[in-house]
Chain A
């Protein structure tokens, strides 16, 4: 199975070979679970969203266009699943980004000096809260670019928007984030 392309595996699934879908799941699990972990608050929520995304993809396989990228098609399903999950999570429980910066300014400022693996559990939780406070479309596009490493064309296909829209959204998302963090120092940023 490993020698088949994604398109060939999809054709085999549609012909009745479910083992081909298992290979697609194995092949794309790392990136899908990575996206879900970046977008959602808990490991369980990420696992559930990733499972739901693969199930939805299986049920929608007949609508997949053979000339498209299976990876970006799957990413779109997973991204929409994450956005749905975030909307279902209780609203109003998360602090706004402004409030987080006010309450934890020093710690947020110090985060850039602390590499990931050496962070305390409190710092990991603070990072999670800062990301949760971002508008969901900003968080999604920044996650796709910074964490998943998608290029602009792949982001456009995943978010079903134009290249110009990707450029504009990334610019706004980054400048919004940096402007909020600049309140901490008043001058230089993080």
Chain B
């Protein structure tokens, strides 16, 4: 195995991923090649310095983590069970918003009372009312003056 082949196989060798025969070839090369030995040693030092594993969690920590995880799972399932409510609530809201349009147009007196209560709504209501209603409402208001 020449130097180029050995340096290509170096990391697989280091990670224990080479079949036995090729492993032997790399080891033979390493015994004679300071550059490849230096590369391996540099990586071992870097891995030790920068990729050390953190301490394993204690059984208590794992149990507490599992309790929190299962609480989230439970919340998610309860929310999923209530999903059927969304279209029902949506339909209900749509009906509630449409209700004012379904009311019969009030008579002029009622229109004026509505207008007084709603401020500017009286005038916009009159704009939408049929002409006869508008005349009666305005006549009523004139009569009150």
Contacts and interface: CB of A to CB of B under 8 A. Distances in A.
Which among A130, A148, A167 has the highest number of chain B CB atoms within 10 Å? A167
Interface of A: prevailing SS: helix
Contacts of B48: 112
Interface residues of B, number: 32
Interface string A45-57: 0010011001100
Interface residues of A, number: 44
Contacts, number: 98
Interface in B32-58: 38-39, 42-43, 45-54, 56-57
A59 interface: yes
B109 interface: no
A142 B66 contact: no
Nearest to A53: B69
Interface in A119-148: 127, 130-131, 142-143, 145-148
Contacts of A143: 51
Interface of B: 11-12, 15-17, 38-39, 42-43, 45-54, 56-57, 62-63, 65-66, 68-70, 72-74, 76
5 contacts: A25-B66, A127-B49, A151-B15, A174-B43, A189-B46
Instruction: Give 5 nearest A-B pairs by CB, closest first.
Output: A189-B42, A146-B51, A112-B45, A112-B49, A25-B66
